[in-house]
Structure 1
Amino acid sequence: MACVVARHDLRTPAVLVLETLVVAACYYAGGRLGLLLEVTAAGAVVSPVWPPTGVAVAFLLTLGPRCWAGIALGALFVLMHLTSLRLASVGVLVGNTAAPVCGYFLLRKAGFRTDISRLRDCVSLVFLGAFGAMLISSTIGAALLVGTGDLPTRNVWGVWLAWWVGDAMGVLLITPVLLLLPRVRVPTHMGRWKEAVGLVVLAGCLVPLATFSPASTLFVIYPLLILAALRFELPGSMLCALFSSVLATIAAGDRVGPFQYQSDVEAMLNLQAFNGAMALTSLLLSAVITEQHNTRRSVERACQELVEVLEHLTAGEAASRPPWDEDGPPRGED
């Protein structure tokens, strides 16, 4: 028995170390992907969608606060890839770690569910996990850049806004996808497969046309999001939103499509407005549809249970009824 307990005690730190390394690797991979989608704002190169924040919040909601060390380690790897470590890097590291952790505690305080099946879950993710908590990382990061002289004071608000919105978009676009992907089930009916293929083909044709066409046609993506939400709820709409955000970011970075004749600031503002409106539309609309479907299923189950109870009661009354109730009194008693 002592040997079994000892093995369990030794295995727990090993699992914790493995989880930390996995979280750090995923955070770093998200950072490398985010660096591929760079745009210029206020003289600084920023990422309009910063995936590591979404990865960090998703891991925190799945594994709990014990994975904060993996987030810090992953943020350290990203900083080492970007620049040489200095004293100011410690502050950036603290801010990038503290923001997702604070977002996690705010979401838990609000009773957030990882299945994101209620409207209140989406509202909490938007205003607590994204817009609220990410103020920490953007404020600390911009203040340190100004304090070290790397950022002129006149550009601080533009960089702060781009930093904050980029971190928030990472939570809004990446966290729901990571939380819902393990719950996605392969369609069993051929009709659902046809719908899924049709949605993929439609998104593959419509989104590139809207994001790379010189005409301002980004608005045509919203009916696609509505269709995806109606037929596939949150997983379908968020995947379409993520795909649209990636292509729109590439178009803004290359100054093509609707961003062709815009300045750096105009392209950044339009891109962030598009990403934010698209993420909010997908989250809130899908949450309302999911709540309606869950309510309908609950009503159907309640009706089915009521029918079963009535059938049992009817069968019990029929079994306890005397035989002459239907055929009249027994013979010899007329």
Structure 2
Amino acid sequence: MAAVVATPELRRPAVFAVRTLAVALGYYAAGRLGLVRELTVEGAVFTPIWPPTGVAVACLLLLGIRVWPGIALGALFVIMSLTSLRPAVIGNLIGNTAAPVCAYLMLRKVGFRNDLARLRDGLALVFLGALTAMLLSSTVGVGMLVLTDKLAAHSFWAVWLAWWVGDAMGVLIVTPVLLVLHAITRPLRPARWKEAVGLGLIACALVPLATHSRVSLLFLVYPLLIWAALRFQLAGSMLCALFTSVMATVAATDSVGPFERLSRVEVMIKLQAFNGTMALTALLLSAVITEQQHTRRSVERACQELVEVLEHLTAGDAPPGRPVKDIQETETTETTKATETTETTEDKNG
């Protein structure tokens, strides 16, 4: 009996340790991937998209608040791979951990659903999870650089903006993709696979052209996003947005295509404006379409149930879920009431 009781008690710390390490490794891998492409603003190096913030918010939404040590450990791994442990580094570690936790708390406070099936969920992820919560990490991180004389005070706002947008883009692009991948339970039907393959082939041809052409053709990706959102909802639109964002970031960091002959600040502004509007379009459009589809299905089910009830009533049978005895008692009661009413009326007239 003692062994049976002790097994769950020993299993819980083991599960917690494995889960924490898995989150830390995922955060670290995303961080190393984000560092592949960098931009420099006012002497400070930053990534246009910081995937670890999206990974952290997704892990918190899927696994709960208890995984925050894994986020802190993963952030420590990323920081230690770049520099040594200093006061400014500790501030960055705190900010990078606190921002996703704040995003999680705010999203749960407003009743956020992981399936992003409502417009309010998309708006909450944009304005609370990305734009508001990431103010914490950027403010703490850049503030520590200024306080430790690693950054000039006059460069605060330019670096702060680049840091904030990079963290927010990680939440806008990476978090929905991870939530969608976690929610997938069955593959597409064979008929849908043909369309999905066709969409993927067109994206592989059109997106590199739009992001690397000297002629400004970035607008060509929006019909592609609309097609993906209409036919495949969040999964299609966000995967398309992720691929487009990666290709645009590659073009921006290489200063080719529409980003050629621009200053570093202009490249940052153009890239982040494009990535932001594209992610917002994909996320909110797919949320609206999914919400409308759910509403339509609910109305269709209600109409079908009403038709079934009317058919049973017309045939004299009990509606589904209602015994015949109840209907007979109801009919007897109504007949008795009608008889009493008739007799009362005749007595008054008499």
What residue number does 2:127 align with?
A: 127
Over residues 130-153 of structure 1, what are the superposed CA-to-partner deviations in whole Å (9 max), with x where a residue is unaligned? 000000000000000011111111
What residue number does 2:77 align with?
A: 77
Q: CA deviation at 1:314?
A: 2.8
Q: CA deviation at 1:313?
A: 2.1
Is 1:187 aligned to residue 188 of structure 2?
yes
Measure the CA separation in 1 of the matches of 2:179 and 2:279: 15
Larger radius of gyration: 2
What residue number does 1:157 align with?
A: 157
**Amino acid across the alignment from 1:61:** L
What residue number does 1:233 align with?
A: 233
Measure the CA separation in 1 of the matches of 2:81 and 2:64: 27
Measure the CA separation in 2 of the matches of 1:36 and 1:104: 27
What residue number does 1:106 align with?
A: 106
What residue number does 1:285 align with?
A: 285
Q: CA deviation at 1:210?
A: 0.3
Moved beyond 3 Å, runs of 4+: 317-321
Measure the CA separation in 2 of the matches of 1:2 and 1:217: 69
Measure the CA separation in 1 of the matches of 2:213 and 2:245: 15
**Amino acid across the alignment from 2:252:** A
**Amino acid across the alignment from 2:187:** V
Over residues 152-204 of structure 1, what are the superposed CA-to-partner deviations in whole Å (9 max), with x where a residue is unaligned? 1121111100000000000000000000112233112x321111011001100
Question: Normalised by the size of structure 2, how large is the TM-score?
Answer: 0.89
**Amino acid across the alignment from 1:126:** V
What residue number does 1:48 align with?
A: 48
Answer with 64-73 or 149-158: which moved more: 149-158
Cα RMSD of the aligned pairs, angstroms, is: 1.4
Measure the CA separation in 2 of the matches of 1:140 and 1:46: 15
**Amino acid across the alignment from 1:288:** V
* Matched residue SS, 1:11: helix
* Aligned residue-pair number: 320
Unaligned runs of 5+ in 1: 322-334
What residue number does 1:214 align with?
A: 214
Is 1:67 aligned to residue 67 of structure 2?
yes
Q: CA deviation at 1:315?
A: 3.2
What residue number does 1:266 align with?
A: 266
Q: CA deviation at 1:317?
A: 4.9
Measure the CA separation in 2 of the matches of 1:317 and 1:274: 61
Measure the CA separation in 2 of the matches of 1:101 and 1:187: 34
Measure the CA separation in 2 of the matches of 1:208 and 1:93: 36
Measure the CA separation in 1 of the matches of 2:234 and 2:155: 37
Q: Sequence identity, in percent? A: 68
**Amino acid across the alignment from 2:38:** E
Measure the CA separation in 2 of the matches of 1:232 and 1:297: 16
What residue number does 1:328 align with?
A: none
What residue number does 2:38 align with?
A: 38
Q: How does 1:139-154 map to 2 (within 5 A)?
A: 139-154=139-154
Q: CA deviation at 1:308?
A: 1.9
Measure the CA separation in 1 of the matches of 2:117 and 2:256: 37
Q: CA deviation at 1:42?
A: 2.1
What residue number does 2:331 align with?
A: none
Answer with 307-316 or 203-212: which moved more: 307-316
* Matched residue SS, 2:21: helix
Answer with 306-315 or 190-199: which moved more: 306-315
Measure the CA separation in 1 of the matches of 2:210 and 2:42: 26
Q: CA deviation at 1:90?
A: 1.0
Measure the CA separation in 2 of the matches of 1:42 and 1:178: 33
Measure the CA separation in 2 of the matches of 1:266 and 1:199: 32
* Matched residue SS, 2:81: helix
Measure the CA separation in 1 of the matches of 2:312 and 2:50: 58
Measure the CA separation in 2 of the matches of 1:317 and 1:117: 38
Is 1:306 aligned to residue 306 of structure 2?
yes
Measure the CA separation in 2 of the matches of 1:207 and 1:273: 17
What residue number does 2:347 align with?
A: none
What residue number does 1:118 align with?
A: 118
Unaligned runs of 5+ in 2: 319-323, 329-350
**Amino acid across the alignment from 1:227:** W
Question: Normalised by the size of structure 1, how large is the TM-score?
Answer: 0.93
Measure the CA separation in 1 of the matches of 2:114 and 2:193: 26
**Amino acid across the alignment from 2:301:** R
